[in-house]
Each structure stands twice: as structure tokens, then as C-alpha cells.
Structure 1
Amino acid sequence: MLVSLLLSSLCALQSTPSNTWANLIPRHAVPRRGFPMPKESELLLLLTDRKAEMNERLEALRALAYLDVKVDYLSLTAMRRNLHSDDALISYVRCLARCSEEAHAPMKKYLTHRLPAVRAEAVYGLSKYFEGGRDVARSVLSQPKLHPWQRVAAIRALAEIDLSAAQVEVMRRMNSESGEVALEFLQVLRRDLSDDHIPVLIDLLRQGRSRVTAEAAAMLQHITGYKIGNDYRSWHVAYLQHKAFETPMRAPKISDLELQTVAYMGVPIFSDNICFVLDSSSSMTERMYELRRMTRAMKVIEEFDKMLPILPSSAKFNVVFFESMIRDMYEELTAVTSDSKAYASVFVANNSFTGGTNLYGGIARAFDLEGIEEVIVLSDGDPSVGDYTEPWQIMVELDRLNRWRNIRISSISFSAPRAAESLMYIISAYNAGHFRDID
């Protein structure tokens, strides 16, 4: 089972329940095939089958891009005139990077394309797969005015071809970065965490409360064992004390310090810009296994009301319910105020639980919110309705949506079937999130 395969690579956050798992490995190390999906040979045949429906061929193109499969240059470029959507073009450029040297000149043209995602794919492909790639990556990183996705692509590619060089770039530039670029820099350090990274991570905490500083604090905890949160002064004092006594920065075996964080149903919240994506299907009205007096829906509402009062005033949030239809509380992230918290409590309590399970639609709606940094998704069943219901289709699309954005996705499996549980686990593992299984 996928869960058992990955648990050895994950570590439990000590301040959360024992069945909550935190992903501390970078995305590249997470298996892409944790569920049944078409074979590469079948996808390649479908891609070149001119008798097949074009939407089927484009789906094959997206899957091949996700799997990072090498595609014949002539077969791929024959499809170019049929790419009438931005999403298809993004997958095309991603596959083009895996072609032969013939693709080098076409790839360079996409460096100036109007779409940031296309430019990012061009940067990544040229940096990773072609001669002179290190120079391309370093050049992009030295231009702070370029779109953040291009810089994310550059450091990710450099890390995959020369991790040492990438970590040098990260150590040089970390304190001048923010947002998705800073989060990608942290992913690069996470590939080979060491005591050398402690001063840089502590300096990051000067920025104040943000998802970047929360992630940095979690990494510091992982290295040192100290559970101080994201308080810069406390970390700095602890670092100076160990430096003065020339001892490794490690917490005492018995420590009264405890990392405290806002959490929903045991899943910690790292960001001030968060959306709760909650299953609203009819199966949520079933009673819980251990608490027979409560349905799953009642438990969701109860835990939401417990969490609302401790949301920080600096945060923005939203709630999305998904079943056969998608319903959101607001059209955008809204500030945490007494009024918005009161309305959220009523919105969640008055929800009707009915219909099927449109898991992808709920997550995709959250991704449409401007400024979104973190998503917590809760579901109790297999995806059954919507544009994508097969696990591999959902993973392919989420990979496309979040390839350069570094949005954190945590998930809660609420007595879900094994296949759905595995899907939610891999979604969290692949997107730097936490996973919790509730029976």
C-alpha cells in the first residue's frame, strides 16, 4: 500500500496526533505512480493515434508530461497545431524538453511566451536537459524582476542536476526572496538538511509571521529537536548559546518547550492565507465508528467551530464545500474578523450534505483564490463526479496547477476507502502537506 511505502520517508510532527504525518521530503522524491494509471506505452500510442478523439490525445499528453516520459520529437511536434488551450501548450512544452537536441531552438523561443507557466517550463527544460543548463539557471536566478515561477523552475532544475551548486545559490539569495521562490529554496535545503543551514533558517524568522517562516521553524525543529515555533529571538539566543559552548545545536532530551500552532482536526496550519475544502456529499451523514452519537458532518462542524476562535487576526480564509456542486463561502479570501468568523460558523452549520464527491473541483476552486497559500481538504469517499474522478487524472491536474506555485495541500481522510485514502495521502506528500487518517 502507498501509505506503508512512504511512511519511512515521513516524520510525525510531535505536537499533532500520532496518525498525522508531516511531509519533510521534497516533491521530487515522492513516487508518481501510487495508483493505477495507463502504461507509458499505451499513452505514447494514443498520442500518435490520429483516429483517436483529440481530447483523448491531449489527456495522454498531460499524463506523459506528468510522468516525465521522453517523447519522439516528430510525433510531438505533429500535434502542435492542435493545441488550442493554454493547458495543452504547457504540457506540450514540458514534453518538448524531453525530446532530442532538435528541441533546443524551439524551447528557447518559449522563454518569452506570454504565459508565465510556459516560460517556467522553458526555463526548467533548458536548465535540466540541455548543455549549458547550469548557466541558464544561474542567469535566471540573478534576475529578480523575472516572474517568480521562472525562478522556481531555475532553482528546481539546478537542484536536480547539481544539488551542491543549488544549495550555494540558496544560501546566497535566501534572505532576499519571498513567496513561492523562498518556499522552493527551502525545498532545496530539505533535500540534504544539515547544521550548516541553521543560521540561514534562523535569519529567515526575522521576516515575521508567514508560511515561509513557519516552514523554516519546522525545519529547525527537525534538525535540532527544539520546539520553539517561529520566534526569531528565542532561536537566535539558543544558537548563540550552543556556539559559545561549541556544542551541536540539539535540544535536551527532556524539554518543556512545545511547538504550538493553529490546527484543524489535528492538521497544523502554516499559512495566513488558507482555504478549507470540505466534503459535502451524502456519505458525510453516516455516523462515526467511535463516536456513534455523531455523524461525520457533525464532527466537521464541531471541530471547525473549535478552530475559528484561534485563527490569527492577520489571517485570511475561505470555506469551499464540494459534492456534485461546488459552493464557497466567499468569492475571495476574507480577513479574519468577528463578523467573518460568525458568518463562517453559520455557513458551515447550515450546509446540506448531499450528492456525490467532486474532490478535484473543490481543490481547483480553492486554487482560484487570489493569494492562496494553503489548502486543507477533508473527504470520506472516492471521487465520483466532476471533470476528473480517476486518481491518476486528479494527480495529473493538481501537478499542473501547483507545479510552480508551491501551495501547501494537507488532507484529512475521514473513514475513506483505501483507494481514496491513498490518493489523499499522495496529494499531501506531493504538495508539502500533512495527512491525517480518522476512522
Structure 2
Amino acid sequence: MLEKVGSQARLQILRKLLPRHLRGSRLSQLESQVKSPEIQISLAAIELLGRIGTIDAVQLMVAAIPDAEDDSALSPTLRRRVDQIGRELRGLRDSKTLAFICNKVVEPKRGSPLARSLGARVLGVAGYQDAVDVLVGLLRETRGDVAISALDALGRLKSQDSLEAILRWIRRRGGDVEFQKAGVKAMAQLDPTSGEGILLQLGNHPDFALRTLVLRALAKIDSAASIKRRVEGLEDPAWQVRTAAVQSLKGVRDSSVVDGLIGSLERESGALEPQIVEILIELTGVDLGPDAGPWEEYWQSRRGKFAKNPVAGSDDSPKGRTFVRKADPKAARSPSYFGVEIVSRRLAFIVDVSGSMSSEVSVPQERGGNQTMRRIDLAKDELLRVLDKLRPGTYFNLVRFESGFSQMVKKPIKLSPKSMKRARGFVHGLQPGGGTNIFDSLEFVLEAGYVDTIFLLSDGAPSAGKYTDIDRIADEIKTLNEESQVVIHTIAMGFRSELLRRLAAENRGTYVIAGQ
């Protein structure tokens, strides 16, 4: 039936079909639709199979996954297809279907590495505890990302019984840094106490990303050796490691921690400075500001009386701050972007210029009332305002995205009259058009390095790029940023965005809602 109608009619049929319409042999009609070169038809067929959710439906989806090591070499069309398959598989919760994925997709050694890797992650997301033994067996795999995906799943399953195997394979695959990083990430989701020795050893590794992850895992071990290594991390040459060290010491009431943080406050500036002050306030109960001098003076008389009592944790999940536009931006003492104060001197601003940015948005004003303007004009105005307020010594970059993305410069440049002129020209040239490629632009900035703070502004759901599924984007950025330790602030222009909320919540940023 589907083959006899045109593309548009076929797309409408696929979107309106219900699972009960396609049972048994009728399901085979979707096989050619899943592999259709017309991507919208392929995605609609995969979504329908996901709603059906039977073993037969899973078989058809898995059969459409290319026999590849990973998705890096796939065409954009194939990657979107695989991404949609992953999205549908991650939504499965039926135990029989998950058992099929475990025993027939993941376990067989001759299957597609990409399919097995995807299947392993699905089992972790679904919380399928019966997969633990199979996943442990995958740690010996060397093709593609199979072993790394197995580690990710074991961490998600909180499988404490698998820790011994994880430690064993970390030792055996000592030359495989990517495996070691994935192993340490998994350990951080378990109780890694019995692996403290390995973590302390890996803490000396030349790879700064691995050292960063080690500190995150050591934060779960309450021992003198763990605290000592985390305090030492405050003096690591890599700022990513120092950031992880600061975060790992939150709530640790030990005099050596206060010693280390005060020393760190004397050396640090930018995005890390307020984080250190926040923890010092938490530990001591006093607020002495960002200068190390008052803290040193205070600590000299209080150090011997410091009590090691636990302090209550706090909820760090941003709930959304409403942006109110300043009447006189020149009156502000410090730079801010959509109400978020800028303390960093290593910045990147990522701005959505998709077609929808030509729409209007209504923004509350400081002196009352609302101002209505085009979204792109509000974004440009606020960006020009903050550029005029950046502190001397700041390094920055500007990135625009629609269906693709482009950057002002390849790497952040130092603030100067010349770079300011270039930046203003870049901002004035921003014009709306195209789709919304959030992932690729964020990935570029994180991989380019050097920045410790990102401001991401968008007014819509992702529709282009390597990944468009919001869960996949959030998970991938969180994983990528575990090594980079960049603060990501997000601005949702004219709407509430679960993706932007998650990106801020999971990357120590602030989530702002700008207008409606």
C-alpha cells in the first residue's frame, strides 16, 4: 500500500498509523520505508516502529543500522536515521524486548559494532539489570565503542558487582586512554572506594581530561588520601583539573581544604573565583568576598577551632531566571549578559540565527511595562552591550548557528580595539535564516578549548546538526564537558526549553528565560 502512493501522502500515512494497524506480517511493509533515501519518511517509519515497540519492530530498526565501527564516518542522512533509532530504542521498557536487545543484538560478537554499542547504552538507560553479565563480557571488546558503551551502561545501572571487572580491565588496557576515561566515569557512579589506589595512580596521568575525571571519582571517597589528592589538584597546570578539584571539595570540612582554597583564591581569577568563594562561605559560615587577604587573616585565628561537622547540601538545579531588561546598561559596574554576571575572562557567546529568530518577543523592562522587538534584534543588542563592558585581558569568541555554524575566529582572541571592531561587525551581520544546529556549535566551542564559560542563546528546538534528539544532545554535551569543565549558561528566547534547562543544570550554569 505504502509503495503505491507519493512521498507526501506516504509521510502523512506513516504519521497517522497506529500500532494496532501494523501487527504480524504487516510490519514488514515498513522495512523499505525505514531505509528510504527520503529522510523524513525514514524518520516517520522509525518513530512508528518505536511506538509499536515489539521485538519484530526492534529487529527492523536494528537491521537499518549500518555495519560500522561508530557513527563518525556516516553521512548526515545516515546519522540522523541512526540517531532516531537510538531515540526510539532508548524509550523501550518492556522486559522481553530488552532481553532481545541484550541477547540478540548486544551479545553476539559478529554483529555491527555500532548496533552493539547503541544496544549497550539502551540497556543502561532502561535500567535493565539482567544485562550486567553481558555488559561485563563486552569490556574485552576492541572494535568501535562497544566496550566504552558497556562501561557507560554499567555506570548507569549502578552495578557495584561489576566494579572488580572494571578495575581489572582498566589495568589491562593501560594504554587505552579513552577506555580508562570511560572506566573512571563508571566508577564515579558507583562506590569507587576499593579502586582508590588505581584512581590515585591515574591522577598522575599526562592526559588532563583523565586527571579531571579522576578527581570527580575521588570526590565519592572520604579518606585522607582522597582529600589530599583533591587539594593538590587545586595547583594542577590545567584549569579544567583545578575546576574539578574545587567542585570535588564542596562540603568537605577539613582544615587542609580551607588552606588549599584560600591559596587557590590568591592565584585564580575569572569563572573559578566565585566558585571558590561560595565553597569557603559554605565551610566557614562567613562571607569575606573575593580577595584572599581577608580570608587569610580570618583563617589564622580560626584554623585550630575548625569543626569537621557535615553541612547540608543544596539544590543546584536551575529553575529558570526571568530576564528583565535594564533601563541604563551603562550604569552597571560589571558586565552581564541577559542578567547573568560575567566573571570569566575566557568566554564564548553562541547565538541562534535560525529563521524563527525573525519573530517578535515581548520582554519586561526594569522600569515597568514590556518592550516588543524582533528576537534577533534583542540578541544583537544584548551582545553589543556586553561587548562594551568586557574587562581588559578578556579572551572571547562569537559563534552563530542556523542549519550550520560559523565562528568569528578559530580560537578566542584577546580584547582590543581591533578585536572589538571585528566583533561588532560580526554582530551587526547576524541575520535570521535556516534551521537550529545547537549540538555542532556547542561541540566546536568545547573542543576548541581555552574558554571556561559559554553563553548559549536559542529560541527553538534543535532541527539540524549531528544530533537533534534533546536527550542525546544533553547527554553528549555532559559527557564531553566532564573533561572540559566549562560553565554553560543558557538563554531561552521567548519560550521554556527543557534542553537549555538541562544544559545549564548539568554544566553548573544559569538558565534564563528571555521574554515570551
The alignment's TM-score, normalised by the length of structure 1, stands at: 0.74
Q: Does the alignment pair 1:266 with 2:350?
A: no
| 1:348 alignment counterpart | 427
Distance (whole Å) between structure 2 residues aligned to residue 147 and residue 79 of structure 1: 22
The Cα shift of 1:96 comes to: 6.3
Q: Does the alignment pair 1:398 with 2:477?
A: yes
Alpha-carbon spacing, 1:175–1:330, altered in 2? closer, same or farther (3 Å): closer
Alpha-carbon spacing, 1:233–1:416, altered in 2? closer, same or farther (3 Å): same
Q: Does the alignment pair 1:107 with 2:170?
A: yes
- Structure 2 gap segments, 5+ residues each: 1-88, 308-331, 364-369
Distance (whole Å) between structure 2 residues aligned to residue 140 and residue 79 of structure 1: 19
Distance (whole Å) between structure 2 residues aligned to residue 342 and residue 43 of structure 1: 57
Please tell me the residue identity of whatever aligns with 2:407. D
Q: Does the alignment pair 1:426 with 2:502?
A: yes
Contact conserved, 1:96 with 1:107, CA < 8 A, in 2? no
Question: Which of 336, 358, 361 is the aligned partner of 2:437?
Answer: 358
Question: Which of 195, 200, 206 is the aligned partner of 1:133?
Answer: 195
| 1:376 alignment counterpart | 455
| SS, match of residue 349 in structure 2 | strand
Distance (whole Å) between structure 2 residues aligned to residue 160 and residue 131 of structure 1: 8
Please list the CA deviations of residues 245-297 of structure 1 after superposition, one character each: whole Å capped at 9, or x if unmatched.
x999xxxxxxxxxx975321112334322211111111212112234442111
Q: How many residues align?
A: 382
| 2:273 alignment counterpart | 213
Contact conserved, 1:178 with 1:212, CA < 8 A, in 2? no
Q: Does the alignment pair 1:202 with 2:262?
A: yes
Please list the CA deviations of residues 107-158 of structure 1 after superposition, one character each: whole Å capped at 9, or x if unmatched.
3222321xx33332334556856784122223333x3x53223322323223
| 1:306 alignment counterpart | 385
406-415 or 289-298, which deviates more: 289-298
The Cα shift of 1:82 comes to: 7.8
The Cα shift of 1:164 comes to: 6.9
Tell me the C-alpha RMSD between the 2 structures. Answer: 3.7
121-130 or 346-355, which deviates more: 121-130
Please tell me the residue identity of whatever aligns with 2:149. S
- Equivalence map 1:60-209=2 (5 Å): 60-62=119-121, 71-74=131-134, 77=137, 83-84=143-144, 90-95=148-153, 100=162, 101-102=164-165, 104-113=167-176, 116-123=177-184, 125=186, 132-141=194-203, 143=204, 146-162=206-222, 166-171=226-231, 174-175=234-235, 178-192=238-252, 197-209=257-269
Identity of aligned residues (%): 21
Question: Which of 30, 38, 61 is the aligned partner of 2:91?
Answer: 38
Please list the CA deviations of residues 198-257 of structure 1 after superposition, one character each: whole Å capped at 9, or x if unmatched.
44322212214243334213433555463733x3234434556x749x999xxxxxxxxx
The Cα shift of 1:307 comes to: 0.8
Contact conserved, 2:352 with 2:400, CA < 8 A, in 1? yes
Contact conserved, 2:399 with 2:406, CA < 8 A, in 1? yes
Distance (whole Å) between structure 2 residues aligned to residue 64 and residue 330 of structure 1: 41
Please tell me the residue identity of whatever aligns with 2:337. Y
| 1:228 alignment counterpart | 289
Contact conserved, 1:275 with 1:375, CA < 8 A, in 2? yes
| 1:338 alignment counterpart | 417
Alpha-carbon spacing, 1:429–1:309, altered in 2? closer, same or farther (3 Å): same
- Structure 1 gap segments, 5+ residues each: 1-35, 249-258
Contact conserved, 1:148 with 1:180, CA < 8 A, in 2? yes
Q: Does the alignment pair 1:289 with 2:362?
A: yes
Distance (whole Å) between structure 1 residues aligned to residue 138 and residue 198 of structure 2: 28
Contact conserved, 1:275 with 1:374, CA < 8 A, in 2? yes
| 2:512 alignment counterpart | 436
Please tell me the residue identity of whatever aligns with 2:393. S
Distance (whole Å) between structure 2 residues aligned to residue 344 and residue 44 of structure 1: 55
Distance (whole Å) between structure 1 residues aligned to residue 180 and residue 100 of structure 2: 28
The Cα shift of 1:344 comes to: 1.0
| 2:398 alignment counterpart | 319
